[in-house]
Amino acid sequence: MKNKIEDLRNHLFATIEGLLDEEKPMDITRAKAVSNAAQVIVNSAKVEVDFLNVTGGMIGSGFIPYEPRKPALPGRSDEKEE
């Protein structure tokens, strides 16, 4: 997948920076359009996470990075004791 959650964050931060630019601020209508599109993307990612939780799936679209991990054993912590 080409676009990842990190790309969305970068675009949103760029929009905020554009709004805060005192010399050439971003048009409010354009910023709202970016925000609305971002919300749709976030909502679709939430649906993907819900689907993975319900089906026990381990592979999604790639939008949200996934690193397989070994399941924790009951009563054991992943933290190392020193």
Residue 52 makes CB contacts below 8 A (sequence gap 6+) with 58, 60
Q: Is there a domain that residue 18 lies in?
A: yes
> What range does the domain containing 44 cover?
7-55
Q: Is there a domain that residue 70 lies in?
A: no
Q: How many domains does the chain have?
A: 1
The pLDDT of residue 77 is 59
The pLDDT of residue 57 is 73
Find where tokens 């959650």 sit. Answer: 5
Q: Is there a domain that residue 60 lies in?
A: no
Q: Is there a domain that residue 67 lies in?
A: no
The pLDDT of residue 27 is 92
CA 50/CA 59 separation, integer angstroms:
13
CA 12/CA 31 separation, integer angstroms:
9
The pLDDT averaged over each successive group of 10 residues in the chain (82 residues) is 83 92 92 91 86 76 68 64 48
This prediction's pTM: 0.61
Token representation of residue 77: 């912590």
Q: Is there a domain that residue 82 lies in?
A: no
